[in-house]
Amino acid sequence: MKAKLKITAAFLLSAAVVCGGFVFAANHINNISDNVYAEAETEKAKEENKTIILHINDPIMQVDGNSMEIDPGKGTAPVVLNGRTLVPIRAIIENMGGKVEWDPDTKTTTLTYNENVIRLTIDSKIAYFNDISNELDVAAVIIDGRTMLPVRFIAESFDFAVNWDQTSQAVMITSSEEKIKTDTKPELSENASVVYMTEEITPEALVEIYDKLGFVPDGNVAVKMSTGEPPNSNYLRPELIKDLVQKVNGTIVECNTAYGGSRAETAEHKQVAEDHGFTAIANVDIMDEDDSMEIPSENGTVIKTDYVGSHLANYDSLISLAHFKGHAMAGYGGAVKNMSIGIASSMGKAWIHSGGTSTSDVWGGEQDKFLEAMGDATSAVVDYFDGKVVYINVMNRLSVDCDCDGNPAEPDMHDIGILASKDPVALDQACLDLIYEQKDGDGKSLVERIESRNGLHTLEHAEEIGLGSRNYKIEKIDD
């Protein structure tokens, strides 16, 4: 649903997001509108989650996959100014279902969303949320005629998720009406999938937990993992994985990215793999170096075809070796993401992200369709290998950001261990539950990231299409 936007003789508000400090900017004209025109549409917008994506120097924004002008007829586009990304806040708040008011006499901006109200005044570090005062790190200020508002306070108060992607120069803002619920996990049954766990994160423990799976790979073995975006991502280090990869005589496999960065082209990607030490321990295959190939997703409901690297045809068995962590768009990344986005070719990544609407544009798809498409794509890969796949998740360096982020947030959460299963859904569910055990402690930021993206829905859908079960039992190999 696309919310209606009109431009009257009202002021225009713009916002700024700072990658590190997260700041919104607002540019205003003194004429004041009563905002009556937005009432009906904003009420509708409140009824569902929204995702808004804006790109630098692009006057078109995407609202749940629908393209519209940010400032109709005026060509207003997000810009970078002194390291700050300026984007329009009126379009954001109103498309989320809220309202914006500016009082030129008191120099106060009032934002209303879901009956919650934020008031910020220029040059004051005191902001009011529902009339309760909060001291901010950054005061609202006017710079070159622009009102700067602190986005972190706004996002946390209104429960929006804000993500900045440096590589694609994009800002993604997501409302988060629906929360992941740990009590939605089914009761344990006799048919629960087994998930093995060790609290040790060592090369020896990785081999031991793999052996517990009793997996005997056939022929050429692909070990799917992330090579990691430079310069500082949290990819699994070669020192940790070397013994396992060499034990199975595996080839480390990856595909190029669809969002730019240092791994978008094969030659650069191979250089990253070398720089990160992977070519010193095993052969590395960028599977879409030559082309993509199509494989069917018989059980898929969003996508019926998956586009993977054509070199996937060279392998007979597969080990998913994933670093479990947060993710800017999926909420978290584990076995299902590694098997779907990770094995998808560059065009396949766009296909999944867009919910099966584009093979070239990663941005703008409906959030739940993206999550469901990951399940569909994983199902396609599992069927392609006729089930000759096992899954290992390493729960260390638990940042809210993915290994595709070259400068991820420093983890708030302690390392947990290594988990492994023959069921990717059970494995990811077990990892999520371990995170949620710390939701009121050091896992809070990662839980917030997962919830803001409706992350559990990936597993809900994956279970529905028969990929696996969220019903599991843990067997600790340390005991």
Q: Is residue 4 part of a domain?
A: no
Query: Does residue 171 share a domain with residue 186?
Result: no
Residue 137 pLDDT level (bands cut at 50, 70, 90): low
Q: What is the CATH number of the domain that holds 190?
A: 3.40.50
Query: Does residue 338 share a domain with residue 276?
Result: yes
Query: Does residue 460 share a domain with residue 388?
Result: yes
Q: Is residue 372 part of a domain?
A: yes
Query: Does residue 79 share a domain with residue 156?
Result: yes
What proportion of the chain, given as a percentage, has pLDDT over 70? 79
Query: Does residue 195 share a domain with residue 162?
Result: no
Tokens linked to 363:
């941005």
Query: Does residue 121 share a domain with residue 207?
Result: no
Query: Does residue 232 share a domain with residue 157?
Result: no
The residue that leads in pLDDT, 343 or 34, is 343
- The answer to whether residues 130 and 124 touch, using CB atoms and an 8 Å cutoff, is no
Query: For residue 339, which of 374, 307, 385, 311 has the smallest C-alpha distance?
Result: 374
**254 DSSP β-pair partners:** 286
- Residue 189's pLDDT is 53
- Residue 297's pLDDT is 97
Q: Is residue 376 part of a domain?
A: yes
The residue that leads in pLDDT, 380 or 165, is 380
Residue 174 pLDDT level (bands cut at 50, 70, 90): confident
Which of 105-109, 348-352, 436-440 holds the top average pLDDT?
Answer: 348-352
User: pLDDT tens digits for 3-38?
Assistant: 323 222 222 233 333 333 344 444 333 332 333 233
Q: What is the CATH number of the domain that holds 123?
A: 3.30.457.10
- The answer to whether residues 185 and 470 touch, using CB atoms and an 8 Å cutoff, is yes
Which of 38-47, 366-375, 433-442 holds the top average pLDDT?
Answer: 366-375
Residue 138 pLDDT level (bands cut at 50, 70, 90): low
User: pLDDT tens digits for 290-336?
Assistant: 999 999 999 999 999 999 999 999 999 999 999 999 999 999 999 99
- Residue 9's pLDDT is 25
Q: Is residue 89 part of a domain?
A: yes
Query: Does residue 197 share a domain with residue 163?
Result: no
Query: Does residue 214 share a domain with residue 354?
Result: yes
- Residue 173's pLDDT is 80
What rounded mean pLDDT belongs to the chain? Answer: 83
Average pLDDT (271-283) is 98
Of 175, 197, 221, the one marking the end of a domain is: 175
The residue that leads in pLDDT, 29 or 47, is 47
Residue 97 pLDDT level (bands cut at 50, 70, 90): confident
Q: Is the pLDDT of residue 267 over 90?
A: yes
Q: Is the pLDDT of residue 221 over 70?
A: yes
Enter the pTM of the model: 0.67
The residue that leads in pLDDT, 87 or 266, is 266
Average pLDDT (45-55) is 67
Total domains, the chain? 2
Q: Is the pLDDT of residue 87 over 90?
A: no
Domain that holds residue 232: 182-476
Q: Is residue 10 part of a domain?
A: no
User: pLDDT tens digits for 65-77?
Assistant: 788 887 777 777 7
33-42's contacts with Cβ under 8 Å and 24+ in sequence apart are 33/8, 33/9, 35/10, 35/99, 35/100, 35/101, 37/4, 37/6, 37/8, 38/3, 38/4, 38/6, 38/94, 38/99, 40/4, 41/3, 41/4, 41/94, 42/3, 42/94, 42/97, 42/98, 42/99
Of 175, 194, 215, the one marking the end of a domain is: 175
User: pLDDT tens digits for 101-116?
Assistant: 989 899 998 989 888 9
- The answer to whether residues 156 and 38 touch, using CB atoms and an 8 Å cutoff, is no
Q: Is residue 7 part of a domain?
A: no
Q: Is the pLDDT of residue 180 over 70?
A: no
Of 112, 140, 175, the one marking the end of a domain is: 175
Q: Is residue 5 part of a domain?
A: no
Query: Does residue 128 share a domain with residue 101?
Result: yes
Angstrom distance (rounded) from CA 140 to CA 266 = 45
Query: Does residue 85 share a domain with residue 201?
Result: no
Average pLDDT (434-462) is 93
- Residue 399's pLDDT is 96
Query: Does residue 167 share a domain with residue 214?
Result: no
- Residue 46's pLDDT is 45
Q: Is residue 305 part of a domain?
A: yes
